[in-house]
Structure 1
Amino acid sequence: MRVLSVVRKGYYGSKSALEPMYLYLTVPLRQMGHEVETFDHYDPANGITKSQRTDLLLKKLQSGRFDLVLYTASGEEPVEIEAIGALCKKICIVAWNSDDDWQWQATSLIVPHFTFAVTTYPVIHQQNRNQYPNLLLSQWACLDIFSDYSRQKDIGFSFAGAIYKIRNSQCRYLRRKADLVCFGYGSRLVNLGLPYLRGTSRIPGLMGPPLPFGTINDIWNRSRVSYCPMAGGPRGDVLSIKSRTFDMGLSGTLMLCEHSPSLERYYEPGKECITFENLEDCAEKAAWYLSHEEERARIALNYRDRTLKEHLWKYRFADLFAKIGIPSGARTIFPVANPAHAPEYRSVPASNTL
């Protein structure tokens, strides 16, 4: 199957670090035997306008003979969605929404312009699927290419990833109380004991560079306990299921996370992960598991086993393909014209000429 993944390539604007979503929407699909091309709809090419970027994407869509298009939505789209929607009669175009927990009001506006739209939030799906019949539920998963369960665990308690705003104060607290070691964008502030202030990110070198995803995974592989904050949104007050919940699943670390709604759908607290109620509780539990290695290792093993069984990207994509009616190795034809209502289309063997 020929797939076009419309996804940002650079992580936090970096040219050297790939956006994890870029890896999610390319590597597993290629592992499954699909042919994948990409289009960076956030390409920072000098002087390009939204209209010009839209024209480039439309040209790609019209000339590529793609069986499936996966579009990463952000709530503030860099292309004109209405123009893309007009092609849903001919191509199955699926939007993948990332932050519906706090910006569904924005992302819901683009859902009718796609053949299907994916949310990773069960509550959003439950509350809105009647109004938007083309809204599907999926979830983040583990990209296993960087995981190394057997790696020596020479880091005690760590956080790897972006540290911004409210997360800065949380990490500084855990650094003081539980020797949390931080890595990634914003970690330099934490390690210097400095708060995040408006404009801080514009001071060269102060935040620290974003880390390549492979490097972040290596930190998880080396960590006995990993801090996994679940709160997001502009004020950092919306609990949800983050991609790192699954990302670190095969690393051999113990996931120490906030107890988010729907967590039990994916992992069993106390058996496959450990949850905390507040930062004081988090610090105490980190210290306890660092001093009880046998129990830490038991939970880390259960975490790995559940991830291997249920939470790899190949399972997510197989489930998504089944929901939208695209079997692997099939091309698609659309007979009707309303993408807002998940049109029924028929599949023909990939060898046939359309």
Structure 2
Amino acid sequence: MTEPSTTAHPSTGTAREALRAVTDEVGKAVVGQQQAVSGLVVALLSGGHILLEGVPGVAKTLLVRSLAAALDLRTTRVQFTPDLMPGDVTGSVVYDSGRSDFTFRPGPVFTNLLLADEINRTPPKTQSALLEAMEERQVTVDGTSHPLPAPFLVAATQNPVEYEGTYPLPEAQLDRFLLKVTMPLPVREDEVEVLDRHARGFDPRDLAAAGVRPVAGAAELAAGAAAVRRVQVSPEIIGYVVDLARATRTAPSLQLGVSPRGATALLATSRAWAWLSGRDFVTPDDVKALAHATLAHRVALRPEAELEGVTTEAVLATVLASVPVPR
């Protein structure tokens, strides 16, 4: 297994191998769900955030905790509840009796990896408290801006089937998530492996006992992010991404298509995927591989299409099949 680099500036190859090793470490605690693991690494490399959606019990929280254990980064978990206030997330100004003055007390958002557990269980006022942090990488309290540490990633989870007592994320905040990954129920073989691990004494609360250890950190992420920015994108690939976005805007089943920001997001995730795959240029297959996770939460179905059982995944599949692929 690759150890974290001991140098301040690891090479591109060292960084790639270290981040690939993160997947192996997460696999010591989470069975399957490779797509979600890859999505988290892509989001970190691209400087974005990720929304993990799945029914209870598919290891959404365990996945993020395992990723945190495999990365030498500061991590904070916030359980979003109906009574959570914005200051409970961002921090607040409090009176310091020792200094006889008001001082800012940072909230849990001042971390590298924030696990926003069940984000749709808190009211919009608290949800929106994350908007500035996610977009501007800072928090403004009482007129003063406080920068967040780097890297900074929000990994939010939500349950798609339980609606009572929840507050669906508005489109403006959904658009702040670079990726949305659906975590499905495991196939039979993976579920057997999960139960077998528990039968042998696996404790999801003790990841160290499971053998999960840090194999990468901020230096590897910084080196990887710099390498991703150097990945070449041909004019044909740029045109392909634009054509995909424009095709969603004229899709008959959609009332809201992908915006230019969504197209930019797809370009960013495609570059990260190309680099992780060992290439310094983007191919159409890289774009296709990240299209659903990057675009599905940025489009909205027409009400009549929803009544007919049409899904955004099906619409995006049609768009990908209809837009000519550059040669």
Same fold (TM over 0.5): no
Question: For the superposition of Structure 1 and Structure 2, which TM-score range results when normalised by the shorter chain?
Answer: under 0.3
| Structure with more of its chain in helix, by fraction | 2
What TM-score comes out, normalization by structure 1 length?
0.24
TM-score (norm 2): 0.25
